[in-house]
Chain A
Amino acid sequence: MPDLGPHAIFIIAAYAVTFVAVAALAFAIVEDDRRQRRVLAELEARGIKRRSAESQSSAGKPKSKRKKG
């Protein structure tokens, strides 16, 4: 690490804020992804399946027969 000079505190603070913000964002997104996958798996394990024909208006629903995943 080079000597960051008299303004080192500003440089370190900038990198620290960036790291914390990116880490918090990544954690929130990955956790949300895991939670949704877990909830969907639980529903499917209980035999609750996606409908086909009437469910075309929402995202994530296939237009033909149901597929897992």
Chain B
Amino acid sequence: MISLANPTRFLGLVGRAVPWLTAATLILLGLGLYLSFFVAPPDYQQGETVRIMFIHVPAAWLAIFGYMLIAIAALGTLIWRHPLADVAAKTAAPIGATFTFIALVTGSLWGKPMWGTYWVWDARLTSVLVLFLLYLGLIALWQSIEEPGRAGRAAAILALVGAVNIPIIKFSVDWWNTLHQPASIIRIGGPTIDPTMLWPLLVIAIGFTLLFVLLHLIAMRAEILRRRVRALQQSQVERAALVEA
């Protein structure tokens, strides 16, 4: 594991993993879509709209997963100052933001026919919106500070402060009255969802997770190369200045 923390070795690993991850992601997402539309039955209460669950729930899980990844990487940036930790955090932010956006939009589209409204300012929906804003804030912070080291440390502090929102999202449906249903899959006592719906959901969730990992690895490779390009261009400028002097 330690050897993978070397950026050059990490790039080699990414090159080997990307084709396999791409194939596995496409197979699982294709299978998951088939199961969710042609095998999973309509819900006895929600009817066909339950099919929105198969993308809404995995997107919401990955929204939280992405932020937890950033928070753990932030510790790596602040404590060990490892450059790959900052690269991991920075590149996870747009992916996490996209899945949070998907969770919010699909949740709204599911809420309208079921609750009669696209949006309510209750604890679950509001805390997920705060998560989305945190992602945007982190992206803006990384974009606004040119020097990667400084930007990484500032973003790491913001990420750790924002991590307090994660348990609020998870337990909001237990702590407050909300239109959003309580946990029915990740809960003490096991899932309450019927297996005919649980399996398609898990297949799509694993497919989405592989997609997250795949995009994250490619984005990390791009960020490492961007920093190499930046360093080369800086050294070129310095050499030119030395020659002129």
Chain A positions within 8 Å of B, measured between CB atoms, are 1-5, 7-8, 10-11, 13-15, 17-18, 21-22, 25-26, 28-30, 32-33, 35-37, 39-40, 43, 48-51, 55, 57-62, 67, 69
Task: Indicate which residue in B11, B47, B102, B218 contacts A5 across the interface (CB closer than 8 Å).
Answer: B47
Establish whether residues B102 and A21, one from each chain, have CB atoms under 8 Å apart when the complex forms.
yes
Query: 19 A-B contacts, Cβ less than 8 Å apart?
Result: A2-B42, A10-B49, A10-B52, A10-B110, A14-B56, A14-B105, A17-B105, A21-B102, A22-B98, A32-B226, A33-B225, A36-B226, A50-B231, A57-B83, A58-B230, A59-B87, A60-B224, A61-B231, A69-B12
Instruction: Please provide the chain B residues from 24 to 56 with a CB less than 8 Å away from any CB of chain A in the complex.
Output: 37-38, 42, 47-49, 51-52, 55-56
A59, B102: Cβ atoms under 8 Å?
no
Q: Tell which of A15, A57, A58 has the most Cβ of chain B within 10 Å.
A: A58
> B229 on the interface (CB 8 Å rule)?
yes
B109 touches A55 (CB 8 A): no
Cβ-defined contact, A2 with B228, below 8 A: no
Q: Is B235 an interface residue, CB under 8 A from the partner? A: yes
Give the distance in Å from the alpha carbon of A59 to the alpha carbon of B11 in the complex.
12
B7 close to chain A: CB less than 8 A:
yes
Are A60 and B228 also in contact (CB < 8 A) when A17-B105, A25-B98 are?
yes
B59 touches A18 (CB 8 A): yes
With both beta carbons as reference points, the residue of chain B lying nearest to A5 in the complex is identified as: B48
Question: Which residues on B sit within 8 Å (CB–CB) of A25?
Answer: 94-95, 98, 215
From B47, B56, B148, A7 is in contact (CB under 8 Å) with B47
CA A36 to CA B14, docked complex, whole Å: 15
Q: Is the interface of A mostly helix, strand, loop or mixed?
A: helix
**A10-B110, A51-B235 known; A60-B7 Cβ under 8 A:** yes
A15 to chain B, nearest CB (A): 6
Q: A48 and B219: CB pair below 8 A? A: no
Give the nearest-CB partner of B87 in chain A.
A59
In the complex with contacts A33-B222, A60-B7, A15-B55 CB distance below 8 A: yes
CB distance from A11 to the nearest CB of B (A): 5
**Contact, CB under 8 Å: B227 / A48:** no
Residues of B with C-beta under 8 A to A28: 94
Known: A2-B38, A29-B218, A32-B219. Is A58-B148 also a contact (CB below 8 A)?
A: yes
Query: Are B231 and A7 interface neighbours, CB within 8 A?
Result: no
Inter-subunit contact A17/B228 (CB<8 Å): no
Contact of A13 among B59, B109, B229 (CB under 8 A): B109
Interchain CA distance A3-B148 in the complex, whole Å: 52
- The answer to whether B106 touches A18 (Cβ under 8 A) is yes
